[in-house]
């Protein structure tokens, strides 16, 4: 009877999160929380970390996704909607009481809304900001004590949209621009605790974010009809429809996340592209913005000084490499 009861309890453990279960620690194994791990980039990150022998707390919202994640070795699913403070608090309790600590936090959960800034309705705008900005803020604030205790790492998934922005992508780009400032400030705050912060800035890599955006538009019966931005909206909808086919391999992003978590000298920024074209767009736009900021202001620098400053920045970056 005792053996039967034990077997039953072990079977239940594969279906439910046990906040009071004590962890069995494997030497060298690090515990990492990945938000938005049900699909796309987050799922690949979680599986990659687990395959490397680390223990992953995989955040997801739906029962089916939680069950799938729980079936993977070295992964424990946790019900975690980044917009629900009660779920965040419960996840903190679960992880703390498991006894492994928490070495890494990967803020991956994100959504995209395609809409002109002068047409987007309040519900969609709040949805975009709530997940991509407030979600990162809530999760990091809640788990910071655990990360500080382990002198661990925090990785924030940004985007090249933190540099690029154009018509109908404004709401999404706003959130990724925000992550640029967030990562800079957070890194400066956390260094006194020996915690490293990295911002991962991928180009277009395969994920479920495009499909989710289109599903939301269809569910809400949204269309470009009668909008002065109809051409741009339809072009971007078409791009999202082909996103999975044309985008890069998400394992490349997962490998960069691994570097941010486990390299001896992690960088503040990791920008990664699937092709040269996206690299050119992004770096060139950053240079254009610098030129725009420098132009026609009281303390503008001439070309020689700008090149001197660029050379100094390149030398500083080279000096940071191990």
Length of the chain (residues): 322
172 belongs to the catalytic site: yes
| Neighbour count for residue 17 (Cβ, 10 Å) | 19
The answer to whether residues 37 and 46 touch, using CB atoms and an 8 Å cutoff, is yes
Q: Would you state the torsion angle of the CA atoms of residues 188, 176, 34, 239, taken in this order, to the nearest 10 degrees? A: -160
User: What's the rounded Cα separation, in Å, for the pair 108 and 179?
Assistant: 12
Catalytic residue among 172, 182, 205, 270: 172
**Helices 250-262 and 40-51: crossing angle, nearest 10°?**
50
> Which tokens is 176 given?
């990724």
Question: What's the distance, Cα to Cα, between the start and end of the chain in Å?
Answer: 58
Give start and end residues of each alpha helix (H) in the chain: 2-13, 40-51, 63-70, 85-98, 122-129, 135-150, 170-190, 209-219, 230-241, 243-246, 250-262, 276-294, 303-320
Give start and end residues of each alpha helix (H) in 99-169: 122-129, 135-150
Report strand pairing: 31-34 vs 75-79.
unpaired
Helix (H, G, I), strand (E, B) or coil at 162: helix
Beta-bridge mates of residue 33: 57, 105
The answer to whether residues 116 and 167 touch, using CB atoms and an 8 Å cutoff, is yes
Q: What are the catalytic residues?
A: 172
């Amino acid at each position: 009877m005792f053996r039967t009861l034990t077997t039953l309890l072990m079977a239940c453990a594969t279906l439910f999160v046990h906040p009071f279960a004590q962890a069995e620690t494997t030497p060298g194994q690090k515990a990492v929380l990945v938000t938005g791990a049900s699909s796309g980039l987050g799922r690949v990150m979680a599986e990659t970390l687990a395959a490397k022998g680390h223990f992953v707390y995989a955040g997801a919202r739906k029962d089916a996704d939680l069950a799938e994640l729980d079936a993977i070795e070295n992964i424990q699913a946790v019900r975690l909607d980044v917009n629900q403070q009660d779920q965040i608090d419960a996840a903190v309790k679960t992880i703390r009481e498991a006894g492994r600590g928490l070495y890494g936090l990967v803020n991956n959960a994100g959504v995209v809304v395609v809409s002109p800034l002068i047409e987007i309705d309040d519900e969609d705008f709040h949805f975009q900001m709530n997940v991509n900005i407030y979600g990162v803020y809530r999760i990091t604030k809640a788990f910071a004590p655990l990360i500080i205790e382990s002198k661990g790492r925090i990785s924030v998934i940004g985007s090249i949209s933190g540099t690029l922005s154009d018509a109908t992508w404004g709401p999404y780009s706003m959130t990724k621009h925000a992550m640029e400032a967030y990562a800079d400030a957070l890194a400066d705050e956390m260094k006194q605790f020996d915690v490293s912060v990295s911002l991962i800035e991928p180009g277009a890599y395969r994920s479920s974010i495009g499909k989710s955006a289109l599903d939301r538009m269809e569910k809400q019966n949204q269309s470009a009809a009668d909008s002065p931005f109809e051409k741009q909206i339809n072009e971007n909808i078409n791009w999202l429809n082909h996103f999975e086919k044309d985008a890069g391999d998400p394992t490349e992003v997962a490998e960069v996340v691994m570097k941010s978590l486990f390299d001896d000298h992690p960088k503040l920024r990791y920008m990664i592209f699937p092709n040269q074209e996206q690299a050119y767009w992004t770096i060139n736009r950053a240079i254009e913005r610098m030129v725009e900021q420098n132009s026609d202001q009281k303390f503008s620098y001439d070309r020689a000084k700008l090149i001197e400053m660029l050379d100094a920045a390149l030398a500083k970056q080279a000096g940071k490499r191990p």
